[in-house]
Each structure stands twice: as structure tokens, then as C-alpha cells.
Structure 1
Amino acid sequence: MGSSRLRLTFLTLACATVLGGAAGTVYLNAHASTSTASSPSSAPASASATSPATASAPSSSAPADGEASVEPSAEPSVDRDALLAKAVAAVPRTDDTEVAVSVLDTETGQKAAYGDGAFATASIVKVDILATLLLQAQEAGRRLTATERTYATAMIQNSDNASTTALWRVIGRAEGLDAANERFGLTETEGGDGELWGLTRTTAADQIALLRQVFEAEGSELSTASRAYVQGLMGRIAAGQDWGVSAAGSSSALKNGWLPRSTTGLWVINSIGRVVSGGHAYLVAALSQGNATQTAGISLVEAMAKAAVSVCGESGETGAAAAGAQSSS
């Protein structure tokens, strides 16, 4: 045995460290060294002669000193438009009723939308008329007159039509509204003909753009004072007119529109505004036309607003389930 050569193989254990579950990174460091000794007595010397560098050189893909790192995993994407479409489909309505709804979380930027058709505004155009009046006054370097302020209060808080017609004339009717809307970023809104301000055509997406002009400082053409003025009026809507998107939150600033069409007898029911729910602020626009009754239209836009806020505020199936439950309630 003394003259024979014994081949001694020293193997270190393979160490596997798994961090972060499915979202983490697995590192496997295996170290092995093989030494040949002429006799048992020479084995320790031979083993000790092996340099640390050749004994276990770390992999280029593994951290040094045995440290492991975790790579953050991307959050799974959620198709909120699809979730909202599912929730809206669950809301009872007749085949003649057309709807569109859009929502934006002003803090996270999450958004969802359903429907891109154009709708008659009815009285929600009154927010646009006031925003136009304020922009024109800013450009002229003047304040609103006492009469204009009286009209504005009646127009927004009480939805007074005579006051609206007076301010519609002040801003230059559809021409003045359309010019301001170009500044506001509304690309699919067209002022009504002549004195027919209630037949202005708009989309849910454009109404969100208008609400951003009123409620967000960044990118707004309106001054801080002008925005605060509109917000204040929208936050003090007369009793009996404060339905709509307010159903989706604990507090709200809004404007509603309702109009029976003389040609069909069917109702246009719209609601736009800002609501607070679960500590987040949302801009919501819910539009509908072809409603059999005013009551049915109000129930419809409220259900759509609740569904939109739920989908935008939640993620995945949680939001879909909540939206469906609220829509059917």
C-alpha cells in the first residue's frame, strides 16, 4: 500500500441559496478541487498547497463573498379597460341605451375607460362654459364682474338655464367654447349651434381632460384662483342635484346633466366630477343617452361611476369582483 499511489478527491458541497420565492434569483456555487498524493503522509501538504484562487473561484454571475441578491419582479399588468368593460356589461340597461365612462386616479395615474362615442352634454357643459369664461377673463387681465359671478353661481350650483344662456353669449357661443377647448386639450368636443349649448357634443375622454384643467395644477390653462373658484361651486351643488358620480366616493365636487330629447322622448343623463374613495381622488365622467326615464339614467351613471372607481382603485380580479358586485347592487 505504501508504494501505491492513492488518488484523493476532495469535494466541497454544492450550496444552493434560493431567495425571494418565484420573484427572486437562484444562485448555485459549486466548488471542487482534486489533489493527487504519492502517500498518505503527503496528502495534507498537497492539499494545503492548493491556492485559494484555484480552489474555489466564484462564478462571474454570482456575488462575491457568498452574498446573494434579489432582483425585483415586475408587477403583473392589469387590463383595467377590460375589467371595466366586464363591469359595465353587468349593469342592467336597455338595448337603446348608449354609455361611456372614464376614470383617472389623480395620485397614481391609473386609469380606465369604456366607450368612445360622442354624447350630447346637456348641463355638464356648464363647467366648460365657466372654464371658458375664466380663461377669457385671465387673457383680458380682468376679474369676473358681479353679474357674471351671480350667473356662474346659479349656473353651476342650481343648473339655472337662463344664467347659462347669458354666459354662453358672453363667451361667444360655440366659437368661444371651441377656441378655449383647443387650449384645454379637448379634441372631440364641439359647441352646440346657436343658443343650443345643451347639444354640445363631447366624449368621456374629453370630459376627463376638462376635469384635469379644473382639478390639477400641472398643465392647466386656468390660474390657481380660477381653479379654486370652479371647484368651490362644484362642491356646493343644490340638494336633489348631487346624484351621479358622488355615489362612488365619500366626498365629491360635480356637475350633472339631464335632458329629455324631444325627438325620441328618451333621456340624456350625464355626470362628471371629482370623488374621494379609499384615500384616493378620482376624476370620473359617466355619460349616457337613450334612457327610458330620468331615474333609470341616474341609476345607470351611478353604477358606472362606482364600477370605474372600483376597477381603477383595485388590481386584478379583486377590482373586477368589487366592480361587479357594486354594479349589480
Structure 2
Amino acid sequence: MASHPSPTIRTARTARIAAGTLAASVAALLPLGPLTPTPASAATPPAHGRVTAAVLDLDGAGRAPEIHGTDTAYDTASIVKVDILAALLLKAQDAGRRLTAEERGHAEPMIRRSDNAAANALWREIGRAPGLAEANKRLGLTSTTGGPGTKWGLTRTTAGDQIRLLRAVFDDGGTAKAGATGLNQASRAYLRSLMSQVTPEQAWGVSAPAASGSASALKNGWLQRSTSGLWDVNSIGEVTVRGHRYLVAVLSDGSASMRDGVSLVERTARAALA
């Protein structure tokens, strides 16, 4: 599992990683390191997976997201890394300090490259699931449950809750309170910056509906479940489409391959923003 416009990606590299590092990571049920998917356009027809999308037009009048599908819980895979960093930033804010050099040394590769060792370190630092839950109360999340023990990738969440998290990061007038309760301006800017600098091979997912060259900020996640062999593939972020800024969360599971999952997520994101 791991985690962003879609780049040209080599299928051979996908197969090599999926056969090697992926197997070891999935066995531990922890998010995978950087895995490069084949673009959706080149993928085989997707298997029948379950998918839910939530969309909020930040430049529109409404403040409630549109939900496409059933807003039920899914495994987060590596999209939880945004939530982990938000919890860390709240912890630093409470102490009246900025992140240390060591914390930034974990935070930046965790978001930009979806580095799992970095996520392991910060998951421990925030206090694992209880620390995530405490932060999420402040950020306005109501339907997210941290993964057991060290398995942060098995955190469960809904598309609607991911929009609440994205509002705490991208919407200055969002539901999360600023200052001592929510993320302050500096924390939001830091998260936005990292999500807009993900490595090119991970720039698929909710960015699919955006025109080439349009700004986007996102985080993706994927995980092959050892019990079924099926894939969880997720994508969250902010995209600009037809001059409007949208927060988008697409969560899926049950795909026969990662390529099928990426295709399902991107087709769903396009349909939700059509």
C-alpha cells in the first residue's frame, strides 16, 4: 500500500515492485513504499470494486459535500499519512513550537514519496490510534478509527470524513476551528505545500479531472489485502477544474489489481466532477 495530472509510468517497474517489496509489506499489513502504477488509460478493464466519492466546491455556495455512492468505511492505506501529519502539527502547535528537523525529515518523505518508515516513526510520535483520535476530534472528523497497533494503514475512514480533513487543511473558512483548536495558518500551508509536491509517479487519482498543467495537491494510498488478494486504492486532495477549486476524496476496495483500482478511482473522480 502507499500512496498523485497522471504521468507515463512503466508497467515493467510496477510488476517488479509488486512481485518484490509489495509482498513483504502486505504481509505486515503496513503501507507499501513508492509503488508505480500503470496509467488508467493503459490498464485492463477494472474488476468490480466498491467505490465512494465525496466532492466539495470550495468556490461554490454550499458547505456540504456531494456524496457519490454509499458513505461507508474503507481502509485508508497511505492517505492516512495526511491525518498523521495533521496530528503531529497540532501536537507541535500545543507546545508552541515548529516541527523539529527530525520531524520534518520524516514528514516530507512521508507525504511526497509515501515513505513508510517515516510514517512508522510519526505514528509512534503522535501516540498511534489514540493520538490520531484526539487530533481528529479537533479537526472535525467523526467517522475515522485508527488502525490497530502499528498498522496505521488499516485505519478506517469514510469519504465524507476525508472531506472534513481536507477542509481543515485547504478551507480557511472550514468546519475546523483555527488557532488552539485546529490547524493554524502555518501548519495548513506546510501540509498544502507537501501535498502539491508529490513525486510525479504518484500524481494520479483525484488529479485526473484537472486540465493538464492545472494545480493540484493530493495524497494517494493503495494496499493489497492478504486475506483476499484484492486491492484498496484511494486518493484525496484539492484540484482545480473549470476555474473552481474542489476538495475530492475517492475511496475504493475490492479491485482485482492496483491498475484496476487506479482506473476505478480516476473514472469515479472524473464522473463526480463532470
How far off its partner does 1:109 sit? 3.7
Deviations 1:202-256 (A, max 9, x none): 0000000000000011243111000000000000000211100010113210000
**CA distance in structure 1 between the aligned counterparts of 2:158 and 2:145, rounded to whole angstroms:** 10
Q: Which residue of 1 aligns with 2:57?
A: 105
Task: Tell whether 2:238 aligns with 1:238.
Answer: no
Q: How do 1:121-136 residues align onto structure 2 when only pairs under 5 Å count?
A: 121-136=76-91
What is the one-letter code of the residue matched to 1:190?
T
Any residues of structure 2 matched to 1:39-78 within 5 Å, and which? none
1:265 correspondence with 2:229: yes
- TM-aligned CA deviation for residue 307 of structure 1: 1.1
**For residues 263 and 61 of structure 2, what CA distance do their matches in structure 1 show?**
27
| Count, aligned residues | 218
Match of 2:11 in 1: none
Within 1, Cα distance between the matches of 2:72 and 2:185? 32
1:273-310 Cα shifts (integer Å, max 9, x gaps) = 00001110000000000110101100110111111112
In structure 1, C-alpha distance between the alignment counterparts of 2:235 and 2:140, rounded to whole Å: 20
2:137 matched residue in structure 1: 182
Matched, 1:255 2:255: no
How far is 1:143 from its partner?
1.1
Distance in 1 between residues matched to 2:259 and 2:47, nearest whole Å: 14
Alignment-derived partner of residue 120 in structure 2: 165
Gaps of 5+ in 1: 1-91, 311-329
Opposite residue 76 of structure 2, the aligned amino acid is: T
AA aligned to 1:278 is: R
Q: How many Å separate the matches in 1 of 2:269 and 2:215?
A: 13
1:287 matches 2:251: yes
1:248 alignment partner, SS class: coil
Give the Cα–Cα distance (whole angstroms) in 2 for the partners of residues 124 and 190 of structure 1.
13
For 2:188, the equivalent position in structure 1 comes to: 227
The farther-off stretch of 108-117 and 205-214 is 108-117
Distance apart, 1:193 and its partner CA: 0.5
Tell me how far apart the structure 1 counterparts of residues 128 and 216 of structure 2 sit (CA, whole Å): 29
Aligned equivalents of 1:286, 1:122: Cα separation in 2: 12
Residue pair 2:78, 2:153 contacting (<8 A) in 1 also: yes
* Partner SS state of residue 201, structure 2: coil
- Residue 142 of structure 1 and its aligned partner are, at CA, apart by 1.3
Amino acid at match of 1:113: I
TM-score by length of 1: 0.65
SS in 1 for 2:172: coil
User: Rg larger in 1 or in 2?
Assistant: 1
Amino acid of the structure 2 residue aligned with 1:275 = V
**Equivalents in 1 of 2:199, 2:123: separation in Å?**
21
* Structure 2 residue aligned with 1:152: 107
**Aligned-partner Cα distance in 1 for 2:205–2:268:** 9
Distance (Å, rounded) in 1 between the aligned partners of 2:124 and 2:205: 28
Kept in 1: contact 2:46–2:263 (CA 8 A): no
Alpha-carbon distance between aligned partners in 2 of 1:216 and 1:140, rounded to the nearest angstrom: 24
> Structure 1 residue 93: deviation in Å?
5.0
Q: Which amino acid aligns with 1:172?
A: G
Matching of residue 142 in structure 1 with residue 106 in structure 2: no
| Partner Cα separation in structure 2 for residue 303 and residue 274 of structure 1 | 17
* Residue aligned with 2:207, SS: helix
One-letter code aligned to 1:294:
M
For the 8 Å contact 2:85–2:107, the answer to whether it is kept is yes
Classify the secondary structure of the residue corresponding to 1:281.
strand
Does 2:163 align with 1:194?
A: no
TM-score, normalising length from structure 2? 0.78
- One-letter code aligned to 1:161: N
| Letter paired with 1:284 | V
Distance (Å, rounded) in 2 between the aligned partners of 1:123 and 1:117: 18
Offset at residue 176 of structure 1 (A): 0.2
